[in-house]
Structure 1
Amino acid sequence: MPENQGGNSQLVLRLVTGEDGASRLMLAGDCTLAALCHQLQPLSAELAGYATNPELHWDITGIAHMDDAGAVLLWQAWGERHPRHLALQPEHERLFNRLEKMPPPPAPPARDRLWPVTVLGKAVFLLWEHLTNLIMLSGQLLLDSIYLVGHPLHIPWREISANLYRTGAQALGITALVGFLIGVVLSFLSSRQLQMFGADIFIINILGVSIVRELGPVLAAILVAGRSGSSMTAQLGVMRVTEELDALTVMGIPHSLRLVWPKVIALGIAMPLVVLWTSAIALIGGMVVAEIQLGLGHQFFLSKLPDVVPIANLWLGLGKGVVCGMMIALISCHFGLRIKSNTESLGEGTTNSVVTSITVVIIIDAIFAVIFSDFGLR
């Protein structure tokens, strides 16, 4: 504890020679953090210079107030030991005795030259843990589906309906807005390039294939992953924090059947509908710009669209929606069930859920692109 912190007068050093011919360094003033804040570094260097003389007599009886910071300053200048000749006040002696009895600081840890291998290994083991847990959760959902087929009265229709509304109906606004703007931007940029080659008519091909086959499903999946996926993770995380999951376990209600299964089924149903809605709005946005920029009427656009975009592209986009929707719900619930009973874990789990879901959506889109590279294209 600091002692006598009342003064703020500057610490003064005065080197004198005694009657016996010995050099004496006299300190007077206040040796506190408040008094030393503006001269801490130069004073520390000056005291260290004086401490090089082992025969120097230190007289600090003139120090009126001293706190822990001042005592540490002198103690470090003395080389963390009492000087041979020291005169001080009794109340200050307790500070130095306490510093003398303090254990030495721990040695800095040795630098690990293999830290990249260690970090990579931990990341691999963490990835393996997530994959095994996801496989176990998927297997449990499969067992729940088999059970519900044999017991249709136990199907949680209310949970499915509620999740359909939250993940589907409430997502129509944001997906429509973003889809329309994407269609406008894509049509505007494409029309400027096509005008240079006199190929205005091919704007329908570009918009139709790119939106129906790729942009529509991916855009809708990313928006749903950021909006509905994070909501699912946060919901399960809050239930963990408030111990509702523990209460369900005590009552014998399985988490997968009442919480995870309805979310996966609901998002698997809602995603293709959201994909269809997003693609339609994006095509409308592109059609409006095509009519303004290129003079292509909306009637001609709509009549030509089925001819240049085979229906197989629509089924491919809807299939992506089903797979992405179920994976987003599965990943979100997986991270939600892993959240611990603290708010820091809740935020970290929600962030990891969204990032992982978006990454998986892009991977699924790449897999579909490779497998169905010749599907629906002329």
Structure 2
Amino acid sequence: MRTGAAFEIDGEDGGARLRLSGAYLLSTIGAVEKPLGQVSGPVAAVDLGGITAIDTVGAWLALSTARRLDAPLENGSERTERLIRAVADTGEAEEPWPTRAPIWRRVPARMGELVVEFFTALVGVVGFIGQILLAAGALIRHPRRFRGNALVNQMEKVGVSALPIVGLMSFLIGIVIAQQGAVQLAQFGAETLTVNLVGRITLRELGVLMTAIMVAGRSGSAFAAQLGTMKLTEEIDAMRTIGISPIEALVIPRVLAAILVMPLLGFYASVMAIIGGAVIADLTLGIPFLSFIQRIQDVVPTYDLWVGLIKAPIFGLIIALSGCYQGMQVRGNSEEVGLRTTTSVVAAIFMVIVVDAFFAVFFTNVGWG
């Protein structure tokens, strides 16, 4: 008995018959599916008499072959005929992919969708900020409603818990800046300017910027995931039902915590980066650790420190707004939580870098360059 699927063509053109034989099952038709698709007519009939076993996949293959060759099916067993009738009732197979519009139409259409999505999101963010301002005004009028414990809890999560990772990251960044800077400055005999490089770039830019990126990935994503999960479990709806404002209870403590903690984290990161630069300078450049620290006070102007401290709360506000807004927009299912969390981190980092660029131009124009 034939165990695999096979076929043969008997007769001349015009009277040729396509004879199917063997087991036409899901596990066996792979060997004949492609060759059957290459058979061309004319074929008088498709003979099913040689089929020993068949399932719905085999019946569909036989039926689709007969339809393509415009030939009738003959000599099928009772089971074969029954399966063919069953699959025939499902209708013609549809294309697995819809027909795509030409690229000259797809590109403008997609650009239009992105523009609409951008302005829709912009309107949503402005509305969200408005809700926060209204809630803040209500808290000023009724200070007893302010949740101090929630603020302290969020400050601990955003700030204190982030000290180890921010400190380690900044220490290593300081080492890299000092080592790579010394290699380049050595070409001009100016290794001692490594102190200037480390001090100014960390206090002014990298300290607060890298801290903001770390907080966005760590705390901003946590805000989005926490609020998104609460939306899915209808906790936020329940809070509204019992008369508690979710903006007052959930959003404002997170926003204030990020604003208050970011300057402290940014300064801490800058200090750790300077310590890292001092360590590598002591080990490789022969600049004593204490001399490096004292030299920082001479070569770094005070306004560099203020530049970093002024930018830090703005960055904290951006991160908290992005995380809370995306979390409050979660709809539908748990997959939306992941998508919104990712969006919050990407949007926060992007906006932080854009705002940092504007600050760089602004401070240069006011003489703090």
**Tell me, what secondary structure is at the counterpart of 1:64?**
strand
CA deviation string 1:259-310 (max 9, x = no partner): 1111111110000000010000000000111222222222222222222111
Q: State how far apart, in whole Å, the 2-side matches of 1:271 and 1:209 are.
A: 19
Amino acid at match of 2:52: A
Q: Which residue is equivalent to 1:224?
A: 215
Q: State how far apart, in whole Å, the 2-side matches of 1:111 and 1:193 are.
A: 53
Q: Which residue is equivalent to 1:116?
A: 107
Distance 1:372 1:86, change over 3 A: same
Q: State how far apart, in whole Å, the 2-side matches of 1:75 and 1:165 are.
A: 68
Which of these two proteins has the greater Rg computed from alpha carbons? 1
Q: State how far apart, in whole Å, the 2-side matches of 1:103 and 1:351 are.
A: 42
Q: State how far apart, in whole Å, the 1-side matches of 2:205 and 2:69 are.
A: 74
> Which residues of structure 2 form unaligned runs of 5+?
none
Q: Which residue is equivalent to 1:191?
A: 182
Contact residue 49 and residue 74 of structure 2 kept, 8 A = no
Q: State how far apart, in whole Å, the 1-side matches of 2:16 and 2:33 are.
A: 24
Contact residue 80 and residue 100 of structure 1 kept, 8 A = no
Q: State how far apart, in whole Å, the 1-side matches of 2:226 and 2:193 are.
A: 46
Q: Which residue is equivalent to 2:28?
A: 35
Specify which of 92, 103, 110 is matched with residue 80 of structure 2. Answer: 92
Contact residue 240 and residue 341 of structure 1 kept, 8 A = no
Contact residue 312 and residue 376 of structure 1 kept, 8 A = no
Q: How does 1:44-193 map to 2 (within 5 A)?
A: 44-45=37-38, 48-49=39-40, 51-54=41-44, 58-80=46-68, 83-84=71-72, 86-105=74-93, 108-109=98-99, 111-112=101-102, 113-193=104-184
Amino acid at match of 1:292: L
**Tell me, what secondary structure is at the counterpart of 1:266?**
helix
Contact residue 191 and residue 293 of structure 1 kept, 8 A = no
> Which residues of structure 1 form unaligned runs of 5+?
1-6
Specify which of 255, 260, 284 is matched with residue 251 of structure 2. Answer: 260
Deviation at 1:376, TM superposition (A): 6.3
Deviation at 1:250, TM superposition (A): 0.9
Bigger mean CA deviation after superposition, 350-359 or 84-93: 84-93
Contact residue 312 and residue 375 of structure 1 kept, 8 A = no
Q: What TM-score does the superposition give when structure 1 sets the normalisation length? A: 0.89
Distance 1:191 1:41, change over 3 A: same
RMSD of Structure 2 on Structure 1 (CA): 2.3
Deviation at 1:183, TM superposition (A): 0.2
Contact residue 43 and residue 69 of structure 2 kept, 8 A = no
CA deviation string 1:18-44 (max 9, x = no partner): xxxx76654443222223233332244
**Tell me, what secondary structure is at the counterpart of 2:91?**
coil
Distance 1:42 1:375, change over 3 A: same
Amino acid at match of 2:62: L
Contact residue 66 and residue 72 of structure 2 kept, 8 A = no
Q: How does 1:264-303 map to 2 (within 5 A)?
A: 264-303=255-294
Amino acid at match of 1:280: V
Contact residue 18 and residue 43 of structure 2 kept, 8 A = no
CA deviation string 1:35-85 (max 9, x = no partner): 32333322443xx34x5233xx54422322111222222222223587357
Contact residue 310 and residue 377 of structure 1 kept, 8 A = no
Q: State how far apart, in whole Å, the 2-side matches of 1:356 and 1:211 are.
A: 24
Deviation at 1:124, TM superposition (A): 1.3
Distance 1:375 1:70, change over 3 A: same
Distance 1:117 1:23, change over 3 A: closer
**Matched residue count:** 363
Amino acid at match of 1:40: E
Q: Which residue is equivalent to 1:4?
A: none
**Tell me, what secondary structure is at the counterpart of 1:38?**
helix
**Tell me, what secondary structure is at the counterpart of 1:372?**
helix
**Tell me, what secondary structure is at the counterpart of 1:306?**
helix
**Tell me, what secondary structure is at the counterpart of 2:27?**
helix
Q: State how far apart, in whole Å, the 1-side matches of 2:116 and 2:229 are.
A: 27
Q: State how far apart, in whole Å, the 2-side matches of 1:321 and 1:375 are.
A: 19
Q: How does 1:217-366 map to 2 (within 5 A)?
A: 217-366=208-357
Contact residue 234 and residue 350 of structure 1 kept, 8 A = yes
Contact residue 44 and residue 73 of structure 1 kept, 8 A = no
**Tell me, what secondary structure is at the counterpart of 1:33?**
coil
Distance 1:326 1:14, change over 3 A: closer
Q: State how far apart, in whole Å, the 1-side matches of 2:178 and 2:271 are.
A: 14
Q: State how far apart, in whole Å, the 2-side matches of 1:198 and 1:86 are.
A: 94
Q: Which residue is equivalent to 1:9?
A: 3
Distance 1:110 1:268, change over 3 A: closer
Deviation at 1:205, TM superposition (A): 1.3
